[in-house]
């Protein structure tokens, strides 16, 4: 145990929860503000033990009256520097801040992106008021969107807010909607889609994709839909607008039941409707000159990022319990491409 760390004993009472991560969260002292995600990280790091035996499996079966020990690391001073980077602040109070992240900005420092991230900007904007639960490089970060995805993010400014928001994300009660441009038209009239395992349509021509996600076996930077293992993932999408004659592109609205890494990008590619500009999962599609002009084809092929925007975010305020709901329009690059496509729709 590192100097400054402390050991907390947690007794399981009533045996109504069997998973270790859930049990620790349920029976930990309220003052600890222990979220399930943080408990899971501590388990994986070997900080949780039973009668001297370290357990690293979050789904380990716990029994009534067991007393678990958990090592809580000391709170370290943030090494990530504050940087005066402009932020598009949509809402802010003493507990949380909601920002409209631009495409091209990484959410938190990581190898290869140690500065000029959203966290660097938040440290400057919020001073020392961010939640410390995320650790040195992720203070206040409750959820993320990809570097080249634009749109809404909520960040916690207190540990209480972080804990409350994390619970809502864990229960999948947070509303998260995205706008995207995809190749083709995901429509219930397409028999090919209905032949894909885990794919179906709900009333209103809403595409539902159920497919577990895991790291690609050979390309570690990619995610892939897997039959066995992986993490449960559900995406829904509906077509808002079709472009081309015949239609070769669609503006779609997607919403998440779960929030996995690259989820929309992977699921849409899995069903044959990859996103425009996606450098990892996209494909170089040939489009008929009769469907869209050569100039428009060039705009589509040279769009510099995945055409994906987190447009809508809704949740209950973790302190006041007030329902919060925010929307932001697509950024200029996305808007210009939509206008160009609309002209030929």
Please identify every residue annotated as catalytic. Answer: 146
Separate counts of helices (H) and strands (E) for the chain? 8, 16
Q: Per the structure block, which two tokens stand in for 120? A: 């660097």
CB 172 within 8 A of CB 258: yes
Measure the CA–CA gap between 288 and 291, rounded to whole angstroms. Answer: 5
* Radius of gyration of the chain, Cα coordinates, nearest whole angstrom: 22
* Residue 25 and residue 38 in contact, taking contact as beta carbons nearer than 8 Å: no
CB 266 within 8 A of CB 240: no
Paired tokens of 308: 């994906």
Q: Look up residue 88 and give its DSSP letter.
A: -
Determine the Cα–Cα distance for residues 242 and 236; give it in Å rounded to an integer: 18
Distance of alpha carbon 321 from alpha carbon 213, whole angstroms: 32
Distance in angstroms (rounded) separating the CA atoms of residues 345 and 339: 10
Note whether 255 and 236 are within 8 A (CB).
Answer: yes
């Amino acid at each position: 145990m590192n100097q400054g760390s402390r050991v907390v004993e947690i007794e399981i009472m009533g045996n109504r929860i069997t998973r270790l991560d859930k049990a620790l969260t349920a029976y930990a002292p309220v003052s600890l503000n222990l979220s399930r995600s943080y408990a899971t990280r501590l388990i994986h790091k070997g900080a949780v033990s039973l009668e001297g035996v370290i357990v690293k499996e979050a789904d380990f079966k716990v029994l009534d009256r067991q007393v678990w020990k958990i090592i809580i690391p000391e709170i370290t001073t943030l090494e990530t520097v504050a940087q005066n980077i402009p932020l598009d602040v949509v809402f802010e109070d003493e507990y949380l801040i909601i920002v409209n992240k631009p495409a091209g900005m990484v959410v938190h420092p990581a190898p290869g992106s140690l500065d000029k991230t959203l966290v660097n900007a938040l440290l400057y904007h919020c001073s020392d008021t961010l939640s410390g639960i995320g650790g040195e490089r992720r203070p206040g970060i409750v959820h993320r969107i990809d570097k080249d995805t634009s749109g809404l993010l909520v960040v916690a400014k207190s540990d209480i807010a972080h804990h409350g928001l994390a619970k809502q994300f864990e229960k999948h009660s947070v509303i998260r909607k995205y706008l995207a441009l995809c190749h083709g038209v995901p429509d219930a009239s397409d028999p090919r889609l209905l032949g894909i395992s885990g794919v179906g349509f709900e009333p209103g021509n809403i595409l539902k994709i159920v497919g577990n996600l895991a790291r690609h076996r050979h390309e570690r930077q990619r995610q892939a839909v897997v039959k066995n293992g992986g993490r449960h993932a559900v995406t829904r999408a509906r077509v808002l607008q079709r472009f081309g004659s015949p239609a070769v592109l669609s503006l779609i609205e997607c919403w998440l039941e779960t929030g996995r890494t690259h989820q929309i990008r992977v699921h849409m590619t899995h069903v044959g409707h990859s996103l425009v500009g996606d450098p990892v999962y996209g494909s170089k599609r040939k489009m008929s000159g009769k469907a869209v002009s050569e100039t428009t084809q060039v705009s589509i092929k040279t769009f510099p990022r995945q055409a994906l925007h987190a447009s809508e975010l809704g949740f209950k305020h973790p302190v006041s319990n007030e329902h919060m709901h925010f929307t932001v329009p697509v950024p200029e690059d996305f808007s210009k491409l939509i206008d160009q496509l609309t002209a030929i729709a």
